[in-house]
Chain A
Amino acid sequence: MMFSFPDEVLEHVFSFIQSDKDRNSVSMVCKSWYEIERWCRRKVFVGNCYSVSPRMVIRRFPEFRSIELKGKPHFADFNLVPDGWGGYVFPWIAEMAGAFPWLEEIKLKRMVVTDESLELIAKSFKNFKVLVLSSCEGFSTDGLAAIAASCKNLKELDLRDCEVDDLSGHWLSHFPDTVSLVSLNISCLGSDEVSFSALERLVGRCTNLRTLRLNRAVPLDKIANILRRAPHLVEFGTGTYAADLRPDVYSDLAGAFSSCKELKSLSGFWDLVPAYLPAIYPACSKLTSLNLSYATIQSPDLIKLLSQCPNLQRLLVLDYIEDSGLEALASTCKDLQELRVFPSDPFGAEPNVSLTERGLVAVSSGCPKLQSVLYFCRRMSNEALVTIAKNCPNFTRFRLCIIEPRTADYLTLEPLDVGFGAIVQYCKDLQRLSLSGLLTDRVFEYIGTYAKKLEMLSVAFAGDSDLGLHHVLSGCESLRKLEIRDCPFGDKALLANAAKLDTMRSLWMSSCAVSFGACKLLGQKMPRLNVEVIDERGPPDSRPESCPVDKLYIYRTVAGPRFDMPPFVWTMEDDPSLQLS
């Protein structure tokens, strides 16, 4: 009966299917569904920009309006990927500029974006609406000026955690009078890159503005003026939240915050001065998201603040909150879903705050909806991890970073295998896991056995032998991304599980024990993988083949080897004669 539906009906049905995964499934049902689906896919997601070529994407999906691309491996966030590795967006923009002028959205993560690319975007897409650059680099305020000037229909400009070269603070004045932004995030810009008067005028003009995240350079006394011009803001990020305490400034600020009746999310708060904190109290009861991770306030002030936020779902905070603050959080914020606790002094030899496993246990016990955790601390025990696991079987993301590598259970001095084992055993929907502490191959056996929904695993300073890696590669059915550093994993597990790599997006291994010979072999045998050796010491073939490579990045691709690599990256060649079907 399905066959009698005209294409337009199916297309209409498909239009309700937004998720990428579902769209991919739909396209595999039969040839005609594949055809219909490809013509009506409006959003394309490419998780690894080198897995496919722009031309292939355009050929298959001739009518998309929105594209999301990711470039560098995740460990690039921690400076493990040398500069110049790749991830250039220009070839994509160039292909799309030619093919369709009706593109509306570009979202990029960890890519190199040049001013040239931004200028090409500005010139080529007349109806361009959304630009989201996340952890990108390579552009300056000149490129932003081009976007501002030419994209008359721009709705969203979101630069989160980007590295922008500052050339002029006046790029904001290039926005035409008619622009009506809905979202503007310039929180990553340095001091010289924003002109306050231009900002105020812009905010005043954009009557539909719902998200505004300022950068650190915007002083406290400018916030009130800006907020008054945007009373319908839902998400707001302050600049530096510090100034000498002046009653007039304070009351101005408090008045401005209370006039924003729809605020749900607050962030910014650099250098926060507690005296000004009560100014935000009027907004607290409606807050669902609070990012205080740049605010150096102490636990008592935090507790006072959090007690006003009973509807909080997402909290990012520094470890100044301490166990006591987390206990308070657990008793007031029953809707909490996501918690991230960052270290205030990651390199200090001694703990500077009293934040231990107790805080996390308290939150796991008091917040039944907790799903996502990122927690930096200095000690942990298996007992605590087991308790946490039992308290929160609904975890989807669990990332624990015990600051000193290979730290054992502080109570028993044993490895933390059992604790993490409990996490994967009880949390059946776990999608993302980051390990730390003292760990043997046993933890990987648990992971391979239980973590069937795990999609991303991050491992550092763990394991004893190749068996550990083998457990993960052979057991984790849903694994897409695996990143490993400083572990004694070598050739055996990798070569034995080569086929698994075809089912994953990517594998990163640095400071491990994979030999150059194994890399070559893998490259030869696996035509649909790019096996990249990254080694700044020089060409790997100037050393014996048994020598381990410095860094290894393997990803599946239908685009073949890339040609934009810097001198310290080598892609291992395919050898058709050695391939197995």
Chain B
Amino acid sequence: MEGGLVLLGGGSSGVSTNESAVLSKVEVVSEAESELELGLGLSLGGGGGGATGKTKAANSSWGECGRILTAKDFPSVVSQRSNNGGPFSGTKRAAESVSHESGSPSGASQVVGWPPIRSYRMNSLVNQAKAQRGDEGDSGVVEKDKPKDALKKKLNSNGKQTTVNEKGHLGFVKVNIDGIPIGRKVDLNAHSSYESLAQALEDMFLRSANSLEKEPLALSKLLDGSSEFVLTYEDKEGDWMLVGDVPWRMFVSSVRRLRIMRTSEANGLAPRFNESNERQKSKPI
């Protein structure tokens, strides 16, 4: 470490008073630093192998370090191809995606916040790109050279804009839980099933509840009715529904926000179809 600084001192032009103050501070902290150095489990410089050690996902249990996502860990196709013998030989692909949530969708690397495009713009782009790649869902198929016809489809479908993504972040919807005033956001695009969404929500609220040192909220099995809480959502029409009744994709395209409600308050929630009204009410909650 000291060696590194000496190299730098030689190269930089003009040592400002700031720098000399900094250098004197270095001596004072050196003891603490060397302890830190010993304590750090990851290699920080040179060699690409340093990151292999821990591959646990970031949301593993406490008491362990959890994996640190550094440049070396990033599953980059290009750096494998380049193979220039530099410090990035053979990056290690994480077992889990780097976005901290399981079940990320297929396609290019889904890193949170990358590429750095603002949410508002991302929503418009994703809707257009999905449509052009011929995705399913209610956005219809838009061909590059036939915009008019496709737009007719879009505009006619419900007169309003197509998917929920315009109201919130890319796939991010707000989720509130009864009893905690601060809401969170969850990225629906990072999930492909109700189970993985429920798991993520349980992790999110179970953990923050513990850190508040309250009674741990029994969130397990949000979906099957065996928990004290039930997962509900508000759809495009403004109705509140129980999560889980419709196919996943239909849910994703119509959900506006989520609410984890106490089971006791969930009676009488509007079911998806009127016919199943009675069925819903008699379901054990």
The answer to whether A492 and B113 have CB atoms under 8 Å apart is no
Q: Complex: how many Å from CA A438 to CA B84?
A: 11
CB contacts (< 8 Å) of B128 on chain A: these are: 296, 344
CA A440 – CA B45 in complex, angstroms? Answer: 11
Within 8 Å by CB of A466, from B44, B120, B133, B185, lies: B44
B120: nearest chain-A partner, CB-CB: A161
Q: Would you call A149 an interface residue if the criterion is a C-beta within 8 Å of the partner chain's C-beta atoms?
A: no
Q: Chain B residues near A486 (CB, 8 Å)?
A: 69-71, 74, 111
- Given contacts A463-B71, A538-B62, whether A546 and B208 have CB atoms under 8 Å apart is no
Shortest beta-carbon contacts, A-B, top 10: A546-B39, A465-B45, A78-B113, A84-B182, A345-B129, A547-B65, A511-B69, A542-B62, A408-B82, A80-B113
Q: Could you show 28 A-B contacts with beta carbons less than 8 Å apart?
A: A79-B185, A216-B166, A217-B161, A245-B148, A273-B148, A296-B147, A298-B144, A345-B132, A346-B108, A346-B117, A401-B116, A406-B71, A407-B78, A413-B82, A415-B86, A440-B86, A470-B5, A474-B12, A475-B12, A486-B69, A492-B33, A496-B26, A499-B18, A518-B36, A537-B207, A538-B207, A546-B41, A580-B25
Provide the residues of chain B in CB contact with A470, threshold 8 Å.
4-5, 8
Contact for B124 among A270, A511, A537, CB less than 8 A: A270
Q: Are A487 and B112 interface neighbours, CB within 8 A?
A: no
A273 touches B151 (CB 8 A): yes
Interface residues of B in 162-187 (CB under 8 A from A): 166-170, 172, 174, 182-185, 187
* Most B C-beta atoms less than 10 A away, residue of A460, A463, A492, A517: A492
Q: How far, in angstroms, from A548 to B50 measured CA to CA in the complex? A: 15
Residues of B with C-beta under 8 A to A191: 160-161, 166
Q: How far is the CA of A460 from the CA of B115 in the complex (A)?
A: 10
* Contact with B184, one of A84, A188, A449, A491 (Cβ below 8 angstroms): A84
Q: Which residues of B contact A539 (CB under 8 A)?
A: 62, 211
Smallest CB separation, B104 vs chain A (Å):
11
Q: How far is the CB of A146 from chain B (nearest CB, A)?
A: 22
For the complex formed, measure the closest distance between the CB of B264 and the CB atoms of chain A, giving whole angstroms: 25
Give 9 new A-B contacts, CB below 8 A, not counting A471-B8, A486-B111.
Answer: A244-B152, A270-B124, A408-B79, A461-B71, A462-B71, A467-B4, A489-B44, A515-B36, A546-B41
Interface flag for B193 (CB, 8 Å):
no
State whether B70 touches A543 (Cβ < 8 A).
Answer: no
For A275, the closest partner residue in chain B by CB is B148
B157 lies within 8 A of chain A by Cβ:
no
Residues of chain A contacted by B65 (CB below 8 angstroms): 543-544, 546-548
Against B, the Cβ 8 Å flags (1 = close, 0 = not) of A265-304 are 0000011011100000000000000000110101000000
Q: Is the CB of A521 within 8 A of B144?
A: no
Interface residue count on the B side (C-beta < 8 Å): 101
Q: B186 CB to closest chain A CB, in angstroms?
A: 10
State the Cβ distance, A268 to closest chain B Cβ, in Å. 12
B247 at the interface (CB under 8 A from A): no
- Contact A449 B161, beta carbon cutoff 8 Å: no
Q: What is the size category of the interface that chain A forms with chain B?
A: 35 or more
B12, B26, B41, B113: most-surrounded residue (chain A CB, <10 A) = B113
B8 close to A271 (CB less than 8 A): no
Residue contact B119 to A496, C-beta cutoff 8 Å:
no
A566 interface residue (CB < 8 Å to B): yes
Enumerate chain B residues within 8 angstroms of A471, measured Cβ to Cβ.
Answer: 8
**Beta-carbon contact of B112 and A79 below 8 Å:** yes
Q: Taking the complex as formed, is B284 at the interface, i.e. its CB lies under 8 A from any CB of chain A?
A: no
Q: Assess whether B18 is in contact with A242, with CB atoms less than 8 Å apart.
A: no
Are A491 and B40 in contact (CB-based, < 8 A)? Answer: yes
- Contact across chains for A77 and B39 when beta carbons are under 8 A apart: no
Residues of B participating in the A interface, judged by any CB pair closer than 8 Å = 1, 4-5, 8, 11-13, 16, 18-19, 21-22, 25-26, 28-29, 32-33, 35-37, 39-42, 44-46, 58-60, 62-66, 68-72, 74, 76-79, 82, 84, 86-88, 107-122, 124-126, 128-129, 132-133, 144, 147-148, 151-152, 154-155, 160-161, 166-170, 172, 174, 182-185, 187, 204, 207-208, 210-212
Which residue in A242, A294, A536 is a CB contact (below 8 Å) of B151? A242
Whether B25 and A498, one on each chain, are in contact in the complex, defined by CB atoms closer than 8 angstroms, is: yes
In the complex, chain B residues whose CB is within 8 Å of the CB of A445? 11
Q: Using Cβ atoms and an 8 Å threshold, which residues of chain A touch B84?
A: 408, 413-414
A350: nearest chain-B partner, CB-CB = B108
- Shortest C-beta distance, A414 to chain B (Å), equals 7
Q: How far is the CA of A515 from the CA of B168 in the complex (A)?
A: 33
Q: Which of A322-349 contact B (CB under 8 A)?
A: 342-349
- Say yes or no: is A204 at the interface (Cβ < 8 Å to chain B): no
Instruction: State whether the Cβ of A464 lies closer than 8 Å to any Cβ in chain B.
Output: yes
Q: Which residues of B contact A242 (CB under 8 A)?
A: 147-148, 151, 155
Whether A405 is near chain B, meaning CB under 8 Å from some CB there, is yes
A560 in the interface, Cβ–Cβ < 8 Å?
no
CB of A492 within 8 A of CB of B71, answer no
Interface residues of A in 455-497 (CB under 8 A from B): 458, 460-467, 470-471, 474-475, 477, 485-492, 495-497
A403, CB-defined interface residue at 8 Å:
yes
**Does any Cβ of B come within 8 Å of A104's Cβ?**
no
Are B36 and A546 in contact (CB-based, < 8 A)?
A: yes
A309 to chain B, nearest CB (A): 22
- A82 to B161 Cα, complex, angstroms: 27
